Structure 1
Amino acid sequence: MRPPSRLPLGTAAAPSRSGWKAPVSILAGSAMTLLPVVATIPILPPFGLMMLMAWRLLRPDVFRPWAPLLFGLFDDLLSGQPLGSAMLLWTICFVAVDVVDSRLVWRDFWQNWLIAAAAIAFCLSVGRLIATPFGAHVDTVLLLQILVSIALFPLTFLLCARLDGRERRS
């Protein structure tokens, strides 16, 4: 027997068995900074933030509004950024996506990519202002990191869709 497509008023949907995939994938994305990668310039994208934005844009109902605080704390502890910077910036991005969601009737892939690109650029730019002295010349590297992160976001979105089981079957 198939469950009804609409739930009666006042009832909640049964919790999903795959509810652990989203938080674990975000934590694994943040843990990517622990990999021993040697590079002359630091262009490693913020995979934790990218996974959070992909899950938020794909499934808005997965996380509570306070979830980015915990994910940001985990990312701050692993990445070495000043404590609270990812907590603040990820929560601002999460709330900004909520505001955009309330204004838009529907979104497509390009709008999701644009929203995520703005969130990634905002977090990396403000994170640079928080963590790096003003005399440091890291603007070119920061721009390269932003471009690499934006270019890799569709793969992150596809990974989240596959984990969720929502990819298109052709």
Structure 2
Amino acid sequence: MIDPHLHHVPRLGRHPSRFRLEATPILTVLIGSALTALPLVAQSPVMPPFGLLILLSWRLLRPELWRAWIGVPLGLMDDMLSGQPIGSAMFLWTVTLIGIDAIEHRMVWRGYRQDWLIATLAVIFCLSGGLFFARIAGGGSVRFALIAPQMIWTILLFPFVVRQCARVDRWRVMA
């Protein structure tokens, strides 16, 4: 006997919730930023900035999703979670998003290699800028060579992160 309470509900014609559509990208960036708070002991920065990687992935996958100002609140949360000087990620992420907008307006089409190049330039800019702000706030003299392994690791990890964001995006828009 078939239970009348367990009937099949068709998925055609249904739409995902507005919360799911709008909150999923934001929550994934915040979770990525929170990963830097994991208790890992290292003598130099090796953990990639997952919040930045996820932000770039969403921005390059779905350009219509966010305006450039989203870098301010997401950057603030990243600054608070990562221990960077408050305002550094806010500034760097917003400038990066504005730069990506400017690049997109000049490009006729964009492919995988162009996205990786854009992400590479953004990672170099943000990590170098983060080092600059950390020097100003801490007053120390940290060399650029210290963040080079983190930078390379982050750039090489971008294709994996963008693929994971694409998977999450398929779930996000699925009814």
Q: Secondary structure at the match of 1:60?
A: coil
Distance 1:86 1:111 in 2: 23
Q: Which has the larger radius of gyration?
A: 2
Q: Which amino acid aligns with 2:42?
A: A
1:64-83 equivalence runs, <5 A = 64-83=67-86
> Which residue number in structure 2 is paired with residue 98 of structure 1?
101
> Which residue number in structure 1 is paired with residue 27 of structure 2?
24
TM-score (norm 2): 0.82
Aligned length: 155
Distance 1:38 1:149 in 2: 18
CA contact (8 A) 1:43 1:141 kept: no
Using the TM superposition, give the Cα deviation of residue 16 of structure 1 relative to its aligned residue in structure 2, in angstroms: 7.7
Distance 1:25 1:76 in 2: 16
Which is richer in helix?
A: 2
| Gap regions ≥5 residues in structure 1 | 4-13
CA contact (8 A) 1:120 1:150 kept: yes
Using the TM superposition, give the Cα deviation of residue 42 of structure 1 relative to its aligned residue in structure 2, in angstroms: 1.6
1:10-159 equivalence runs, <5 A = 17-132=20-135, 136-159=141-164
Distance 1:130 1:18 in 2: 34
Distance 2:93 2:43 in 1: 27
Q: CA RMSD in A?
A: 2.0
Distance 2:157 2:20 in 1: 28
Q: Secondary structure at the match of 2:21?
A: coil
| Gap regions ≥5 residues in structure 2 | 1-11
The percent identity for this pair of structures is: 44
CA contact (8 A) 2:44 2:147 kept: no
Task: Provide Cα deviations, 1:88-119, integer angstroms capped at 9, x if missing partner.
Answer: 00000000000011011111111000000000
CA contact (8 A) 1:120 1:146 kept: yes
CA contact (8 A) 1:51 1:160 kept: yes
* Cα 1:127–1:102 shift into 2, 3 Å: same
Task: Provide Cα deviations, 1:5-52, integer angstroms capped at 9, x if missing partner.
Answer: xxxxxxxxx958433211010000100111111223221111111111
Using the TM superposition, give the Cα deviation of residue 126 of structure 1 relative to its aligned residue in structure 2, in angstroms: 1.4
CA contact (8 A) 1:28 1:48 kept: yes
